[in-house]
Amino acid sequence: MVYWLIAEQLGYFNVDRVKVMQDAKDHISSSLRLIQLDKLFPTFSNFILDSAGQQIGNIIIEYICTLIHTIVFAYILYFTAATSSYFYFFVYKKKKYLPEFKGDLKIAFDIKWSCINTFVESFLVSALRLAMPRFSMIYYDINDHSWLYIPFSILFHMMFDETLTYWVHRWLHTFPYLYTKLHVVHHRSKDVTPFSGFAFHPLDAFAQAVPTFVSCYFFPLHINILLGFSLITTIWAISIHDNVPLVPCKLFLYSTHHSIHHEAGRGQMTNYGKFTSVWDRICQTYWVPDRVYFGWDEWKQRKGIFSKFNSFYSKIVPDKSSEELNKQIKQKKN
């Protein structure tokens, strides 16, 4: 934020804040359009305006609307996605996908912390949402930048988000204080389910979510790209906890990668990435998930489909860490 504000004040960038703010209010994602607190609770809204003044009062009302919108949407998305995934893979189709899965499930614990996390983190995320049109390079009108810029901005955002999330996640495991005070909540569940996807300490979850929301302070980003990545991140968080490797493409850190990450011992120090395995391979914190098998026979066929790509990818970004870790396991067994 400081970088962008200084650059704007020095005249390196020129942003029409009046236009951006109006575009933000007119966008389909605008909380003011969806909630309309002044119509739902006119007495309460008038009280805020009278007590805090017009300008500050409007910001408070916008924050409350954004907060309500964020909390409600997050709860609906979590319970819809997690419940659907759980009942499909762990109940309805368990004999097909997870016949050999026998875990100590902490579903009540995961749901409790998911609810706590969603509620508390929404206060912080809502503040970020208010700040973006006021201070960042976020834009709402597609004509503000060339259509040709869109794929580049998606690539920039992915690289930015992937890099920062990897290091934040790794630091949460590296420093004992951060792990025992924050990240340990998520690792209480050694055997995970889709309900584990949101089970974080709120500050832990916020630290890993910040990269998604702050890339727009370093380069222009269309709001729909940011919203799209936010939605994909949420669905991804649910899917990587279902233990079913539906798309065993080694470019990505899919569910059984994360099953290893939740294991006690050495597994926790591997597979830190968000979507891809690039940083884990570069930093030698990668552990190939092939040894994790819960009885889904079709997985072997799926793996064969991606075998050529996985081999090609391994040549470009070699995996040295998995070989060493597997050797250590064999030595202990012997």
Which residues on neighbouring strands pair with residue 221, listed in sequence order? 138
Q: Which residue has the higher pLDDT, 332 or 235?
A: 235
In a domain? residue 325? no
Q: Is the dihedral of CA 150, 153, 157, 163 positive or negative?
A: positive
Boundaries of domain holding 100? 2-239
Six-digit token string for 118:
């969603």
Instruction: Choose among 196, 25, 213: nearest CA to 114.
Output: 196
pLDDT of res. 72: 95
pTM reported for the whole predicted model:
0.91
Whether the pLDDT of residue 174 is over 90: the answer is yes
By the 8 A CB rule, do 243 and 237 touch?
A: no
In a domain? residue 130? yes
In a domain? residue 180? yes
What is the C-alpha to C-alpha distance for residues 239 and 158, in angstroms, rounded to an integer? 19
What is the C-alpha to C-alpha distance for residues 25 and 126, in angstroms, rounded to an integer? 15
In a domain? residue 273? no
Count CB-CB contacts under 10 A for residue 63. Answer: 16
Average of per-residue pLDDT across 309-316: 92
In a domain? residue 117? yes
Whether the pLDDT of residue 82 is over 60: the answer is yes
In a domain? residue 160? yes
pLDDT tens digits, one per residue of 243-270: 999 999 999 999 999 999 999 888 899 9
In a domain? residue 297? no
What is the C-alpha to C-alpha distance for residues 4 and 242, in angstroms, rounded to an integer? 40
In a domain? residue 272? no
Number of domains in the chain: 1
pLDDT tens digits, one per residue of 84-103: 999 999 999 999 999 999 88
Listed in order, strand segments (DSSP E) in the chain are 138-139, 221-222
